[in-house]
Amino acid sequence: MAGGIECRPLLGCSVSEDFRGLLLKCLSLKDLPRAGWVNRGVSNPESVAAHSWGVAFLALSLCPPSLDRGVVASIAIIHDLPEIIVGDITPTDGVSSAEKSRLEGDASAKIFAQLGEYSLNGENGVKNAQYLHELWLDYDHSRTPEGRFVKACDKLDMALQASLYSTQQELDLDEFIESALSRLDDPILITLIGK
């Protein structure tokens, strides 16, 4: 098929090069270093994808029974996906919170629209992409308990990673820990930071 790669006959579909390219772009989060750590001189800093894994692990490990674990895991996995377009924007970049949210919102809309457009599952793929975009909005705008919980786990992961780097590399990364503490109100998460 022109412009596509033939799938196995059982699937009865073709995969466009555009879809493959989008998947590769999403997977590039595995190679994008976290800018905050780079800016502070951390040697071999974690990638954005490694951070997302940390958030997902913490969120699943600490998920209250009142929350939907599947939704929590999904949000944790996709929460930094817009960074494939806008990069890892940090507070030192001089971008306001509102502007960062707008930039990432535009990027997320584009990514999830493309996921739906290139989907192998027709209308179900489009619906799934729309669902994922709504989950991302739940996170970014703290619209749901699951979104707020993942946002808290995002801050917990940052603080715990700062503690690790501080110990391993003898760096003063207290500003990351203090930033997390100032944004958390859950006593269990605050206690886990250990400061």
Evaluate if pTM is beyond 0.85.
yes
State the pLDDT at residue 125. Answer: 80
State the pLDDT at residue 8. Answer: 42
Quote the CA–CA distance of 142 and 25 in Å, as a whole number: 26
Quote the CA–CA distance of 152 and 186 in Å, as a whole number: 8
Quote the CA–CA distance of 147 and 71 in Å, as a whole number: 9
Tens of pLDDT, residue by residue, the chain (195 residues): 344 444 444 344 556 788 889 999 999 999 999 999 999 999 999 999 999 999 999 999 999 999 999 999 999 999 999 999 999 999 999 999 999 999 999 999 999 999 888 877 777 888 889 999 999 999 999 999 999 999 999 999 999 999 999 999 999 999 999 999 999 999 999 999 986
Quote the CA–CA distance of 105 and 48 in Å, as a whole number: 17
- Determine whether 48 is exposed, middle or buried from the number of CB atoms within 10 Å of its CB (0-12, 13-18, 19+): buried
The full set of domains in the chain, from first to last, is 18-88+99-193 (1.10.3210.10)
State the pLDDT at residue 135. Answer: 97
Q: Are 51 and 80 in contact (CB under 8 A)?
A: yes
Among residues 134, 138, 139, the alpha carbon closest in space to that of 151 is found at 139
State the pLDDT at residue 13. Answer: 54
* Cα distances (angstroms) measured from residue 134 to each of 56, 121, 130, 143, 174: 18, 19, 6, 10, 34
Q: Name the phi and psi angles at 82, rounded to 5.
A: -60, -15
